[in-house]
Amino acid sequence: MLHQFKLALFGGLVSVAASPIFAATFEVPRTFEIMYVDQQAANKFGHDFKVEVAAGQHQLVVRFNKLLRQGGDTHRYRSEPIVLDINFLQDSNIQLQAPYVSSQRKAQEYAQAPQFELLDTQLDQNIPFTQVQLATRSGLQNTRDYLEEIEQVSKKGSDVSPQVVPVTDDRLDNIALEMLKFWYNKASLSTREEVQLWRANPERKVEISDVAAEMLNFWSQKANDTQQEAFLAWTLK
């Protein structure tokens, strides 16, 4: 019943075989900063605006960070850190594209809810990604342990709803199967068990909901019949 293979569970991006050398780049405009790559300071990979990583799946943390002058005063506008889950293909160059903000009012509004796209310049098209923004907290921000918060967000994927940017069908044809495999490997044991139970009974209602489940659902909707069959066979190995 391959035509029914639309997992009512399953998020993210494909993990391509990682290369031991840097094979891809990620860039942000000067109104943003790269804070962490795979929970390490970005300067270990490059600098605040451009980093190099190996092909494969990576977690990057960025935030809107804009300085504006009014009269003789300088005002800083920052968003909460945004955790991105991105897959990098070999030699890809991914750029974060955001609207230009020049006024204090717009900067303040944008810092509350940043919106942007990720463009792969090698393919000349937007790519999918998951996005989770850390919660706003009161008090002195320089005392926050961002890495601890990021780790908790990563562990508690079921508490957030990932935002996914769509991509064109021809790109999906190339990566849907690998993305299904990636998120199955990343899924919890309970989510994997739900996949197997669903496989035995496609009419069964699935109750689980977490980031891996939602992303598996996203990519199962994009996979063709051949990819769906290959994925189901792969889960039995």
On average, the pLDDT of the chain sits at 77
Better-scored residue on pLDDT, 184 or 172: 184
Tell me how far apart the alpha carbons of residues 178 and 170 are, in angstroms, rounded to a whole number: 14
- What pLDDT is attached to residue 10? 41
Tell me how far apart the alpha carbons of residues 182 and 216 are, in angstroms, rounded to a whole number: 9
* Nearest partner of 47 among 66, 64, 32, 67, judged by Cα: 32
- What pLDDT is attached to residue 77? 94
Reported pTM: 0.60
* Nearest partner of 55 among 85, 14, 26, 24, judged by Cα: 24
Q: Residues 6 or more apart from 52 whose CB is under 8 A from it?
A: 22, 24, 25, 45, 46
